[in-house]
């Protein structure tokens, strides 16, 4: 169930799940995924260039393009099947392009006004990801990271654990998602991505803002590159 390196889980979770991802993320979060992505969007307004790391099937990428249609947006993901799905879904958007690349080896040769990532931080080493992002960020630009967190409140924790026990059983009926439903709760319980990214951002001179969402079941951290 456990894994030495969270990155090893990425091919296990994502190689065969692109087709059903949009429905699964909607239903398993009771629609909260959409609420959380709207919270990410609240931090965006007049950016001209946006890089959406770990764009997956392009759910957030599309929402960014709809909110700021004048922006040029790149969606980037390590998993080819997800990028293919995103390309197919968003082919009518002239201002979105896609790159198949590892965010921990980010090398795009250009800078952005904003870099977003939803559900990526827990798979990466904070020092590597933040430094890569800073190297691709214009002065005054923002890095907006979002991911699941293990709730601190005891009652919410009980409900959270109960819910993941149900998902564990559901996994027997949706084989492609079984590994995710079995291993994801352990990863969320053991990761302290928020503290790691907060410290790394501060150590690298970024101004940091944190936001807990839905009883502490997910969080957003925004790092601004001060001019
Ligand atoms: C749960 S999906 C999230 C997709 C999208 N951000 C969303 O919110 O719907 C996680 C995505 O992270 C991608 N991913 C994981 N590690 C990555 C890395 N090092 N570089 C780029 N993408 C990565 C996976 O391929 C997968 O598509």
Rounded CA-CA distance 220/170 in Å is 28
Give the closest residue (by CA) to ligand 1 atom 26. 56
Asked whether the CA dihedral 63, 67, 68, 69 is positive or negative, the reply is positive
Each residue's pLDDT tens digit, 96-153: 999 999 999 999 999 999 999 999 999 999 999 999 999 999 999 999 999 999 999 9
Q: Is the CB of 184 under 6 A from ligand 1?
A: no
Query: Which residue out of 90, 119, 148 has the highest number of ligand 1 atoms within 8 Å of its CB and is therefore the one to mutate?
Result: 119
Superfamily of 6-225 according to CATH: Vaccinia Virus protein VP39 (3.40.50.150)
Q: Which two tokens stand for residue 104?
A: 């921990």
Provide the pLDDT for residue 1.
43
Provide the pLDDT for residue 207.
97
Give the closest residue (by CA) to ligand 1 atom 25. 79
Q: Is the CB of 180 under 6 A from ligand 1?
A: no
Average pLDDT, the chain: 96
Asked whether the CA dihedral 180, 43, 57, 173 is positive or negative, the reply is positive
Place of tokens 């009518």: 92
Report the 10 Å Cβ neighbour count for 70: 9
Query: Which residue out of 31, 51, 59, 77 has the highest number of ligand 1 atoms within 8 Å of its CB and is therefore the one to mutate?
Result: 77
All structural domains of the chain with their residue ranges? 6-225
Pure H helices in the chain: 9-14, 21-28, 32-41, 59-67, 80-89, 126-135, 154-170, 175-190, 193-203
Q: Could you tell me how many residues make up the chain?
A: 227
């Amino acid at each position: 169930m456990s894994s030495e390196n969270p990155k090893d889980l990425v091919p296990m979770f994502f190689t065969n799940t692109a087709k059903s991802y949009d429905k699964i993320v909607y239903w398993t979060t009771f629609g909260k995924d959409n609420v959380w992505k709207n919270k990410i969007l609240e931090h965006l307004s007049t950016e001209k260039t946006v890089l959406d790391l770990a764009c997956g099937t392009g759910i957030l990428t599309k929402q960014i393009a709809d909110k700021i249609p004048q922006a040029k947006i790149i969606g980037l993901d390590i998993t080819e099947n997800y990028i293919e799905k995103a390309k197919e879904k968003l082919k009518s958007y002239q201002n979105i392009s896609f790159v198949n690349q590892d965010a921990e080896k980010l090398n795009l040769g250009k800078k952005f006004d904003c870099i977003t990532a939803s559900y990526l931080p827990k798979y990466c080493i904070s020092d590597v990801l933040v430094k890569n992002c800073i190297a691709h960020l214009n002065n005054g630009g923002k890095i907006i990271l979002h991911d699941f967190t293990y709730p601190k409140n005891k009652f919410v924790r009980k409900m959270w654990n109960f819910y993941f026990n149900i998902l564990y059983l559901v996994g027997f009926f949706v084989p492609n998602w079984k590994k995710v439903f079995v291993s994801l709760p352990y990863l969320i319980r053991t990761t302290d991505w928020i503290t790691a990214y907060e410290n790394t951002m501060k150590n690298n001179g970024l101004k940091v803002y944190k936001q807990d969402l839905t009883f502490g079941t997910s969080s957003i951290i925004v790092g601004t590159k001060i001019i």
